[in-house]
Structure 1
Amino acid sequence: MDRSSLRAVGWARSLPMDREVKAARDWARDHLDSLGWTSTAPETVDSVLLTVSELVTNAHTHAHSSAQLVLIWDNRCLHIAVHDSSSELPAPRTPSADRLGGRGMLLVDALADEWETRSCPHGKTVTACFRPPAEVTTTAR
């Protein structure tokens, strides 16, 4: 394989509005386990699962949309992408004692190594990147 090649392992799942966020977390946990992260990088797994919860919740709650969840491991970063049908881009808001929500993107910002949003013709995609601890070697099973 030459240096311009990239080997990646990926999984995708559509989560209709009536599906629980728990289903997204359980599905993601299964794939993190296949990478060996549940035993070698449990803190990173917790951060990934909380991010999955927040992004899928945002798609269902704010975009009033089904969520398409994609996980891609490229041997450097686990990319978590959630697509929904709303064109409104999320942004961290200042926390307020006057409202219950509004902290999801602040959590994503604190947990992910990096994150971004991209407008698409039929909505947007929010992608967060997680790198495992340096001592963890990962091979997809």
Structure 2
Amino acid sequence: MAVKAVGWARSFPVSRGVRAARLWTAEHLLSLPWSDSAADTVYAVLLSVSELVTNAHLHAAATAHLVLTWDGTCLHVSVADCDPHQPSPRETDADADTGATSGRGLGIVTTLADSWGVHACHGGKAVTACFRPLGGPDPHTG
């Protein structure tokens, strides 16, 4: 069985903002066969793109390189930046200040994505999250 993957890539400098990355992603999601039937997955992808691009802009203070790849089973969302420090989700603390406005991005991605990982790349790192749409194509049919 041949895999027909599609993908898109674009860089988002800090000046372009997270909104531009989210709109660009939404536009490309419309071309995928499951976007109409998996609204929860579309929302999860868009929220995760916002969080990952925000993290790249905040922690690397540099351009976020966003790559979307649909392999027929999973939408891979990858954001690379020039900061070599690999992130990890923060522990949740019931006694912590519930008004904190930062530090929850990777936790959100962890909750929304089917899987995620981080690896070194080009002197920096890339965080990649995988989303398997409910109601999407059956990976066992050809």
State if a TM-score over 0.5 links the two structures: yes
2:70 to 70, 73, 91: 73
* CA root-mean-square deviation: 1.6
Contact 2:33 2:136 in 1 (8 A): no
Helix, strand or coil: the match of 1:38?
Answer: coil
- Whether the 8 Å contact between 1:78 and 1:131 is mirrored in structure 2 is yes
Give the aligned residue type for 2:122.
P
Q: 1:20-31 alignment to 2 at 5 Å?
A: 20-31=17-28
Gaps of 5+ in 2: none
User: Which amino acid in the other structure matches residue 137 of structure 1?
Assistant: P
Q: Partner of 2:39 in structure 1?
A: 42
Matching of residues 48-127 of structure 1 within 5 Å: 48-95=45-92, 96-97=96-97, 99-127=100-128
Q: Which runs of 4+ in 1 moved over 2 A?
A: 135-138
Determine the C-alpha separation between the residues in 2 that align with 1:89 and 1:29: 27
Gap regions ≥5 residues in structure 1:
none
Structure 2 counterpart of 1:118, which letter? H
Task: In structure 2, give the amino acid aligned to 1:124.
Answer: K
Q: How many residues align?
A: 134
1:84 CA displacement: 0.2
Q: CA deviation at 1:120?
A: 1.7
Rounded Cα–Cα distance in structure 1 between residues aligned with 2:20 and 2:34: 19
